[in-house]
């Protein structure tokens, strides 16, 4: 399989496709939006689904090529043949390819789900073009080789997600949407300040060149930049004191939008933290370990405790999303610990955790969404007893929930186990205890959720959604969930190749010199030394 | 009475803003300017129209053109970037031609096309945002949602901007 994919030649130019293709497809969808009248959504669905499918193949190809050799390889494309610090650099390594693959997979899963559940109004307001633009923003953020383009793609992502969030325009959505956009714009502002500080002090925004100059920069610059980036991306990822935008908004839109967001958006923030901190601040990652681990522990604990008292399905899962992000930050916190017996194992565990989480969280949100649409409401106090009516859904949800809790043979078990091994390996026993406790609490939350939705007498609450009767609806909704749950189980059972790939990806992320050498920035941009002198 | 002054003012300002927008668009590839700024300039002209004539009139005039505008912009942007791939110079490579025709000496190339794409997409999106925001604020309309028939009110007072007709 791997050899077959590696035998297909890959032009570095094609690295632009994950950005260009969804953009072109979104343009095409808007252009044909009025063609075909009643049948027009069928055309939109097919185009969106096929484009996402092409992305999966493309990401597989990139993954195969970045895994070549013992060390792995990097694919670099300098747009328009402008050399590195002057032009736009796109760079992919195995971690990028894994994220591209997972995101494309989730979009492939979401498109049929949307076709089965979305109402006419929301489909006609452009769900599919917006999803493609969101995909473009995420792909661009994964591939960006300089800080400014990273910012731009984060904005593309934010703008399309904001429109998706308010698609349908109910008062609750506008309320959640305003909080979402204000808090996210504040994070973007912090990010933009970081970019400004970086340009003013380091004289460059190219990430490879920034990494070069970060080594000779004074401590003040490094600490300021690290702090700004931790706040900016920590907010996007949903870390402890900055996660409020997430539970305030994720339960308001149509379930399909929540499923799309829950699997992807926070993970882009986590990806950026994983990418930038080992590249820019390897020293600070060790020095700030107590801070990072404290944030991770608080994120895990507080949000899992908050999940216990949430009144609706999607509010509960939203808090659970945040709690799982804490595990990922834990992996980053111990990634460069000098006591680690195997370098990069902690980060590999983190990458596996991200992949597991993207699969399972989307499956859970999709399953919860089907239940919510079926019973007309997500209010846990009022609904119940769906197991008798939809036994297959109950089974799928059960497996997904237990995968999240970390019961073997699911992906949750292996990812939590490897993370626990890495944590104990660096003698962080307190963090190991906290992560075990949070796993236990997560399991209790998930059992509670399953029990509320599926157990007992069948009752429905005050109907917020009118159940749609679309053709093929149960196939279109349960099919993708089945695929995601099956992928989670496969990952848990055939763990060795997954670990191998993740270990390679983690080593590539930690290999700063390789990254800098791959981009090979020219050193012609003058550094402004006067900024570096302390004021007299 | 604010609308009267505004309407007098925008007879002068709207063509001026549109003209500045075009100038900014055409010089943007080498000099200060560019598609994004030009688009904001043109959107400012439309914002003035919304304030003076009301969102309803503006929507009736250009509302249907917005989605095709965004679509054309996106396709033009990607297309201009892809031209370089077809000539073998790579994605986003700049390809330039010169136009010498009488007094006109203008350099045209894929960056200009890309700027035009940005211009169209940003114009369409910004105007759509502004129309969406002003629908319920500047005048309460019974704008029909897609797929629904407009609600007919029994006694409707004359709307601003339409008394003259």
Per-residue pLDDT of chain A (536 residues; tens, 9 = 90+): 777 888 888 888 888 889 989 999 988 888 877 666 666 778 888 889 999 999 999 999 999 999 888 888 899 988 877 777 888 899 999 999 999 999 999 999 999 999 888 887 788 778 899 999 999 999 999 999 999 999 999 999 998 999 899 887 788 888 888 889 889 999 999 999 999 999 888 888 899 988 988 888 888 889 999 999 999 999 999 998 888 889 888 988 989 999 999 989 999 999 999 999 999 999 898 999 999 999 999 999 999 999 999 888 999 999 999 999 999 999 999 988 888 888 889 999 999 999 999 999 999 999 999 988 888 888 888 888 888 888 899 999 999 998 998 888 889 999 999 999 999 999 989 999 999 999 999 999 999 999 989 888 888 777 777 666 777 788 888 999 999 999 999 999 999 999 999 999 999 999 988 998 888 877 655 555 555 555 44
What lies within 8 Å, CB to CB, of A429 at 6+ separation is: none
Report if residue B140 sits inside a domain: no
Look at residues A108, A117, A60 and name the one whose alpha carbon lies nearest to residue A483.
A108
CB contacts of B68 in chain A (<8 Å) are 30-31
Say if the Cβ atoms of B74 and A121 lie within 8 Å.
Answer: no
Cβ neighbourhood burial of B88 (10 Å; 0-12, 13-18, 19+): exposed
Q: Where are the domains of chain A?
A: 288-493
Q: Which two tokens stand for residue A487?
A: 């992928």
Instruction: Give the C-alpha separation, A390 to A392, whole Å.
Output: 6
Say if the Cβ atoms of B91 and A77 lie within 8 Å.
Answer: yes
B54 conformational bin, left if phi > 0, alpha if psi -120 to 50, beta if neither: left
Assign A75 to helix, strand or coil.
strand
Say if the Cβ atoms of B74 and A23 lie within 8 Å.
Answer: yes
Say if the Cβ atoms of A28 and B78 lie within 8 Å.
Answer: no
Say if the Cβ atoms of B94 and A24 lie within 8 Å.
Answer: no
CB contacts of B67 in chain A (<8 Å) are 30, 33-34
Instruction: Give the C-alpha separation, A26 to A126, whole Å.
Output: 10
Report if residue B139 sits inside a domain: no
**What pLDDT is attached to residue A306?**
93
* Nearest-by-Cβ selection for A121 from B73, B82, B147: B147
Structural domain tally of chain B? 1
Name the residue in chain A with its Cα closest to that of B71: A27
Cβ neighbourhood burial of A421 (10 Å; 0-12, 13-18, 19+): middle
State yes or no: ipTM above 0.95.
no
**Nearest 5°: phi and psi at A379?**
-75, 110
The pTM of the full predicted model, rounded to 2 decimals, is 0.88
Report if residue B80 sits inside a domain: yes
Rg, C-alpha atoms of chain B: 20
Q: Which two tokens stand for residue A447?
A: 């059992």
CB contacts of B73 in chain A (<8 Å) are 27
Please calculate the CA angle A209-A152-B107 and round it to the nearest 5 degrees: 90
Q: Find the domain containing B85 and state its range.
A: 2-133
Q: Which two tokens stand for residue A131?
A: 């999803």
**Nearest 5°: phi and psi at A390?**
-125, 70
**What pLDDT is attached to residue B143?**
42
Look at residues A51, A19, A38, A296 and name the one whose alpha carbon lies nearest to residue A156.
A19
Q: Confirm or reject contact between B81 and chain A (CB < 8 A).
A: yes
Say if the Cβ atoms of B91 and A24 lie within 8 Å.
Answer: no
Say if the Cβ atoms of A16 and B91 lie within 8 Å.
Answer: yes
Q: Which two tokens stand for residue A264?
A: 């992807």
Count A/B contacts: CB-CB distance under 8 Å: 64
Report if residue B115 sits inside a domain: yes
Q: Give the H/E segment covering residue A377.
A: none
Interface of B with A in 89-148 (CB under 8 A): 89-94, 145-147
Contact assessment for residue A90 and residue A144, using Cβ atoms and an 8 Å cutoff: yes
* Nearest-by-Cβ selection for B145 from A13, A23, A121: A121
Gap between the terminal Cα atoms of chain B: 17
Sign of the C-alpha dihedral computed for residues A370, A375, A381 and A387 taken in this order: negative
Q: What is the pLDDT of residues B42-53, one digit of tens each?
A: 999 998 888 887
Q: What is the pLDDT of residues A506-521, one digit of tens each?
A: 999 999 889 988 888 7
Report if residue B90 sits inside a domain: yes
């Amino acid at each position: 399989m791997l050899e077959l994919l590696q035998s297909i030649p890959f032009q570095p130019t094609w690295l632009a496709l994950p950005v260009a293709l969804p953009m072109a497809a979104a343009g095409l969808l808007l252009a044909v939006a009025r063609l075909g009248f009643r049948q027009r959504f069928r055309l939109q669905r097919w185009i969106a689904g096929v484009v996402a499918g092409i992305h999966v193949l493309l990401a597989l190809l990139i993954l195969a090529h970045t895994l070549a050799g013992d060390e792995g390889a990097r694919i670099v494309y300098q747009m328009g043949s402008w050399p590195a610090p002057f032009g736009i650099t796109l760079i992919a390594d195995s971690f990028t390819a894994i994220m591209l693959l997972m995101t494309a997979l989730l979009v492939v899963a979401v498109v049929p789900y949307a076709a089965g559940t979305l109402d006419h109004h929301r489909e006609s307001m452009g769900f599919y073009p917006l999803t493609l633009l969101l995909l473009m923003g995420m792909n661009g953020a994964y591939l960006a080789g300089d800080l400014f383009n990273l910012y731009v793609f984060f904005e593309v992502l934010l703008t399309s997600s904001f429109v998706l969030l308010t698609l349908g325009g109910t008062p609750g959505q506008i309320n959640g949407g305003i909080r979402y956009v204000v808090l996210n714009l504040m994070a973007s502002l912090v990010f933009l300040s970081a970019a400004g500080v970086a340009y003013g002090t380091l004289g460059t925004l190219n990430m490879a060149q920034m990494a070069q100059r970060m080594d000779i920069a004074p401590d003040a610059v490094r600490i300021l930049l690290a702090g700004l980036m931790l706040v900016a991306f920590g907010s996007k990822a949903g870390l402890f004191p900055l996660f409020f935008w997430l539970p305030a908004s994720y339960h308001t839109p149509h379930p399909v939008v929540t499923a799309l967001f829950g699997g992807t958006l926070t993970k882009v923030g986590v990806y950026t933290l994983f990418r930038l901190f080992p590249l820019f601040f390897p020293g600070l990652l060790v020095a700030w370990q107590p801070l990072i681990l404290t944030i991770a522990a608080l994120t895990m604990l507080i949000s899992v405790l908050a999940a216990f008292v949430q009144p609706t399905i999607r509010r509960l899962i939203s808090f659970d999303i945040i709690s799982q992000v804490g595990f990922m930050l834990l992996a980053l916190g111990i990634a460069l610990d000098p006591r680690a017996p195997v370098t990069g194992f902690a980060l590999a565990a983190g990458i596996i955790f991200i992949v597991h989480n993207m699969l399972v969280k989307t499956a859970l949100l999709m399953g919860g969404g089907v239940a919510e649409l079926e019973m007309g409401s997500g209010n846990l106090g009022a609904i119940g007893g769906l197991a008798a009516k939809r036994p297959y859904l109950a089974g799928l949800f059960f497996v997904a929930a237990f995968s999240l809790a970390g019961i073997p043979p699911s992906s949750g078990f292996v990812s939590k186990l490897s993370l626990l091994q890495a944590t104990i390996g660096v003698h962080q026993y307190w963090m190991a205890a906290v992560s075990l406790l949070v796993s236990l609490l997560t399991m209790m939350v998930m059992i509670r959720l399953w029990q509320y939705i599926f157990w007992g007498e069948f009752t429905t609450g005050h109907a917020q959604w009118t159940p749609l009767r679309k053709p093929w609806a149960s196939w279109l909704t349960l099919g993708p969930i089945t695929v995601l749950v099956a992928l989670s189980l496969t990952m848990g059972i055939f763990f060795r190749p997954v670990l191998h790939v993740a270990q390679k990806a983690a080593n590539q992320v930690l290999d700063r010199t390789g990254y800098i050498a791959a981009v090979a920035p020219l050193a012609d941009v003058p550094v402004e030394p006067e900024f570096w002198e302390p004021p007299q | 009475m604010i609308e009267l002054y505004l309407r007098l003012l925008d007879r002068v300002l709207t063509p001026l803003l549109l003209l500045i927008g075009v100038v900014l668009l055409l010089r943007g590839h080498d000099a200060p300017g560019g598609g994004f700024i030009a688009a904001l300039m043109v959107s400012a002209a439309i914002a003035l129209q919304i304030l003076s004539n009301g969102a309803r009139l503006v929507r009736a005039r250009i509302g249907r053109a917005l989605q095709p505008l965004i679509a054309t912009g996106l396709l033009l942007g990607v297309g201009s970037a892809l031209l370089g791939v077809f000539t073998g110079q790579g994605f986003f490579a700049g390809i330039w031609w010169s136009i010498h025709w009488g007094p006109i000496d203008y350099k045209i190339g894929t960056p200009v096309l890309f700027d035009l794409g940005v211009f169209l997409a940003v114009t369409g999106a910004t105007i759509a945002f502004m129309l969406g925001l002003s629908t319920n604020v500047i005048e309460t309309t019974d704008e029909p949602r897609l797929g629904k028939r407009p609600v007919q009110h029994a006694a409707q007072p004359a709307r601003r901007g339409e008394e003259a007709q």
